[in-house]
Structures are given as C-alpha cells and as structure tokens.
Amino acid sequence: MSEAPKKKIAIIGGGAAALYLAASLDTNKFQVAIYEKNKALARKFLVAGKGGFNLTHSEDTEILLQKYTPPTFLSDVLTRYSNLELRTWLEDLAIPTYQGSSKRIFPVRGMKPIEVLQKFLDRLNEKNIEIHTESAWTGWSERGQPLINKAQKIIADHIVFALGGASWKVTGSDGSWLSLFHRKKIKIKAFQAANCAYKVNWPPEFIEKHAGQPLKNISVRQGNKTCKGELVITELGVEGNAVYALSPELRQQLKKNGLAKVHMDLKPTLTEEQILGKLDSSSKNTSETLRRNLKLSPAMLTLVKDIVPKEQYMDNKNLAQAMKNLPLELLAAGPIDEAISTVGGIDLDEVDENFQLKKLPGHYCIGEMLDWDAPTGGYLLQACYSMGAALAEYLNEKK
C-alpha cells in the first residue's frame, strides 16, 4: 500500500521567523517550500548582525515577558519556547552561544552572521525544504490562491506569511504587502518606527561639536518607566537603547501632545546626596568638578550648561537635583526606514492563539508583520523564534 502524499506548507517570506518555522517543521509529514522576493534569504537577519549578533537575552522568563507590548500577546509562546529552548536549539544547529556582560546572548566569539545563517540553511537543506528566491507574493487569485510574481498560483494545505515589517527597505522589508490584506477585509494598522532615533532641536553649534558622541551609563525616564543604557547624539537628535525601550510610551506621547518629554539621570549609580557631597567637597570650579570628580563627558557637560539655568548651575544642591532629572524634549520619531524595527501591520485581533487568520482559515501570520513591539537586546529575534517554534508544533501535531 502506497504512502499518502505529504501535505504542503508554503511559507511566504524568508526572514528569521520563516527560517525558525521551516527548520522546526516535520518534513516527514509535510512538503515545505519558502518563497522569498529577494535573491537570497534573510537579508535583514544579516544586516542586524553587523552591530553584534544579539540572538536573545538571558533574562528569566518573567522579566523577559515584561519587555513586550502588548505584554500578554506572546506570553504563552515565550514561556513554552523560552531563551533557554532557543539556546538549546541553536546548539543543535552547531551554533554555540555565550552570555555577554550585558546578559545578552551572542554566537560564540568569532562566528559571523553569515556563518550563523549558513547553519540555518544547512538544516533546511537536510530537511529537503524547497527555497524559491525572486518569488514575490503579489496577492490572491480569484479562487483565493496566493500568487507569486502575479502569475504562479500556490497550491498548499497551509499558507504561512512571514513578511516582516517596514524598516530597512534595502533588505526588502518595506511593508508594501499591507494593502493586500486590507483588500481581504483584514484589519491592519499603519506601520510606525519602533526602535528608532528621535528628533531633538539641538543648537547647530552643539551638533557640530558633539554629533556622534555617546552619553554612556545614563538612564532615561518617561512617566513611571525608566531605562538604563546609553544615547548617541546625532544630527537629528538622539538614538540608543535608553530610548528604544521607551518607544511605546514615546509614540503615545508624540501622538497625544506632539512631543514627548523625558528626563535623563546622568549618574544613575549615584544618589543625589552623593553627587552633592562631591560638589561640596571640591575645591575646583563647578565645571572642573563635573569633569574630573563626576566624570561627565564633554557632551554631558555642555548639555548641563545649556539646559540648567545659570543660578541653578551655581547652586550645588539645585545642580545635583538637575543632574538626576535633566529634561529633554523629543519632537518626532526618526525616519521609519532607518528604524531597527516597526510596529503596525496585521491587527492582533485578526489571528487566533495559533496565529491563524480568523477570516482566512489555513493562513497564518508570524513575525514582525504582526502588531507587537519589543526593544533591542535580542527580544525581537527571540519572539520570532518562539512564534515559529509554536506554529511548527501546532502544525506538526495537527491531524
């Protein structure tokens, strides 16, 4: 008696979420094909690795979950497929990892992003997964079949979309697919920059002198939320992990008020009293004390002088207070194409607990194309892995 033919799964998009999913599917049960519009898979995956290939974060799951917006959307899959499971999975692909000083997880030292990607591709090859490049999804046929390059109809039992967001267009991640879902009466949200730069109205002389300089070991507060890290001064304004993690709050304030007010703590490891003690005990002038005793960088010192009124600057108690609570106005998010990630895309109410579109049974959406948010630090890739692994398990067990 001949074996029943395998069911077919078509994955549209070739980024991180697609690779995690494909590598986790049971190819004894399914015939799997990936359709990618670029000439090669995972271009954004490689670009993200240029600044240090941060695969996940080592935080305990309870803390990790708090970094996602909305906080409950991914709680189940992140709990079942945690950072520990991801590291084990990577080890199985011959991608050993280590924990950096920031508690972020990286491939073992010396392993380049392209080598990590090749390990993924080797696994796909071992599983006989078909890869079709230069194959752009262009909508649906009259009979509801996905179309590739406007003509080729995909015949499959399950269709998985992993189309990414709308930043870094050079990688193919442009969000142009959004209107195709809108025509299917699927609720969508316009894309917005998430982990991105923010505009500050710097004086020209400040930009000329300090653009490109970091503000290290600071914290930034917006409302009741505080994030430690660093900022980099740019011609536009500021960028860096200390504001990336505040993106949901900053977007809300920008929408509501047209600007977002934050407060910087230039010395989060010191109390106000400790700062005051260093100021009071110094025989140097104020600027010299800030430079030498409190280790303010030239950019920090200029900020303090520009923002703090002269009478407050000359009063040690008021100056200590100001250094722990230095105000800064952010006027707008930076260009969406320069953002590390985006929010928007498919509304979360449109998918069920298995990421299946409620209005299109047999069609699924995973990855950045859904409307969720997370800061940099490995959280984005972790979520893509968790979604891919969860959907793979669901499909593998589905009768």
pLDDT tens digits for 355-386? 999 999 999 999 999 999 999 999 999 999 99
Which is nearest to 370 in space by CA: 180, 198, 163, 195? 163
CB 197 within 8 A of CB 260: no
What is the length of the chain?
399
pLDDT tens digits for 198-229? 999 999 999 999 999 999 999 999 999 999 99
CB 232 within 8 A of CB 238: yes
Question: Residues of 4-27 as b/e, b for ≥16 C-beta within 10 angstroms?
Answer: eeeebbbbbbbbbbbbbbbbbbeb
Confidence tier at 4 by pLDDT (50, 70, 90) = confident
Q: How far is CA 223 from CA 218, 231, 269, 327, in A?
A: 17, 18, 20, 12
Can you tell me the mean pLDDT for 311-316?
A: 96
pTM: 0.94
Strands ordered across the beta sheet of 158-161: 130-132, 30-35, 7-12, 158-161, 363-365
Q: How far is CA 247 from CA 51, 225, 252, 333, in A?
A: 20, 11, 9, 9
Confidence tier at 323 by pLDDT (50, 70, 90) = very high
DSSP-assigned states of every residue in 68-120: SBSTTTTHHHHHHS-HHHHHHHHHHTT--EEE-TTSEEEEPTT--HHHHHHHH
Confidence tier at 2 by pLDDT (50, 70, 90) = low
Lowest-confidence pick of 3-7, 54-58, 148-152, 361-365? 3-7
Q: Which two tokens stand for residue 27?
A: 């190819």
Q: Which amino acid is at 55?
A: L
The full set of domain ranges for the chain reads 7-194+340-397, 198-333
Which CATH superfamily groups domain 7-194+340-397?
Answer: FAD/NAD(P)-binding domain (3.50.50.60)
